[in-house]
Amino acid sequence: MKRLSSPELGRLVVSFFEDYLPAQRGMSTHTLRSYRDAIVLWLQFAARDAGRRLESLRVADFTAESIERFLEHLEAERHNGIATRNARLAALHTFARHLGAELPEQLGMVQSILNIPFKRGAKHVPIEYPESGDIRALLEHIDRRTPAGQRDYVLFALMCNTGARVQEVLDLRRRDLRLDPPEQVRLQGKGDRVRLCPLWPQTANLLRQALSQVFPDFLGPPLAGRIRWHGTELTRWLRRL
């Protein structure tokens, strides 16, 4: 049996994120980030648990016992809920399958990890939707006397109109907008699903005015990069709320 050295674990982590998840499983960028966070948290915990430096961890440290202690740590010390705990476990299950495919001699260890069950009892919190008064208060909070405020007002009006996610707004291109009747926007969501959402005349008018100021040749060819740049600033604005 080959020696389970630290470089072996490092190689598996790299191939997991660079090849297995994006190429073989076709997972989205959001899933990759979630799995990355889970693996990083486990690596940090396993290093402390073993009393060694993170770079000295070996495949032999990736055990069912270590993962069970990690899950207890998430709930007891990080105060994670059951849903978050289960999401971390799902990522570790997937990594275990990748490990088993690369190192078939470790299938016994992999099977013991896959036997760790998901925890039941996650609370289902009812979804609350903002009332019209809440939306008005949000929009009135934006200072429209500045160019940045005018831009933010339009972007938030668009999200309130369509219910679009922030990422969907970041990915918008000019060709996704129809500002003549019937006004609508083309949104690309999770799993590359596309949907058409109607726009209120007021929202379409705001978009028409804003885009004509930014792009004097608004009816010309798309300039997706400029809209994406605005969207990046929108994300920063959201984080300050």
Q: What pLDDT sits at residue 223?
A: 35
Domain(s) of CATH 1.10.150: residues in the chain: 6-114
215's CB contacts (< 8 A; 6+ apart) are 174, 223, 226
Residue 126: helix, strand or coil by DSSP? coil
What is the DSSP code string of 13-45?
HHHIIIIIIIIIS---HHHHHHHHHHHHHHHHH
234's CB contacts (< 8 A; 6+ apart) are 152, 155, 166, 169, 170
Q: What pLDDT sits at residue 192?
A: 75
Class of domain 6-114: mainly alpha
Q: What pLDDT sits at residue 128?
A: 62
Class of domain 132-240: mainly alpha
Domain(s) of CATH 1.10.443.10: residues in the chain: 132-240
Q: What pLDDT sits at residue 214?
A: 65
Mean pLDDT in order along the chain per 10 residues (241 residues): 59 93 84 93 94 91 95 95 93 95 92 94 64 83 88 89 86 86 87 86 88 60 41 49 41
Q: How far apart are CA 95 and CA 114, in angstroms?
A: 10
Which stretches does DSSP call E strand in 131-235? 177-178, 184-188, 194-198
